[in-house]
Structure 1
Amino acid sequence: MLLDDSYNANVGSMTAAVQVLAEMPGYRVLVVGDMAELGAESEACHIQVGEAAKAAGIDRVLSVGKQSHAISTASSVGEHFSDKTALIARLKSLIAEQQVITILVKGSRSAAMEEVVRALQENGTC
């Protein structure tokens, strides 16, 4: 199952999305890009989302972007990627490994996370 919430992100919407993902069936993967316009609080906000993912029992966190590495690190189950191509390849391998998987894609508009969603949909992966 693919949940596309890629258009906007802030701490509140990210943590709410994590809670939704936690209720979904199968292996749960949170795919995140940066949250924009957070100023001096950016790192702390990204860490907060990672901690929420950890507390919710999310199985894997994949991140891409300059700031989102803090999410994957704080989650304790994260992997950070320097580009979306590598992230998409990793997602496809996770999909192939799991019988039931739920993927939630989220990030600020500037992170253009819809590219990840589109890549999965175009290849018939999700």
Structure 2
Amino acid sequence: MAHLGLVALVVRDYDEAISFYVDRVGFDLVEDTPRPDGSRWVVVRPAGARETALLLARASTPEQHERVGDQTGGRVGLFLNTDDFARDHARMSAAGVRFVEEPRHEAYGSVAVFEDLYGNRWDLIQPRG
């Protein structure tokens, strides 16, 4: 197996999710294709990334709506690696991304937890060495 291609993230609305991930987090919009059933195939990924991306999947059932923002039970479930923690933390903070803790330096690298527009928790992390 070469790599993990897509990770689905259940969202409330395509356009608000695109706006958050592209305008605030700094991802690129890779694809936004209408589908015959009225849904859309929306893919975003970190600028410059070539492999793993997010499929923004609009909730379509009551069960899916209940999971928006809590797909991992309140724990960090997504990890955004950076090669310049200070730069990206400052840029994302200035763009309105809500960090729920101050940056910290661990044995594995520099990290801070942020929440997306729905409350899903992410690590912004610059791995050490």
Task: Compute the TM-score of the two structures, normalised by the length of structure 2.
Answer: 0.26
Structure with the bigger percentage of helix: 1
Task: Compute the TM-score of the two structures, normalised by the length of structure 1.
Answer: 0.26
Q: Which has the larger radius of gyration?
A: 2
Greater RCO, 1 or 2 (C-alpha within 8 Å, sep 6+) = 1
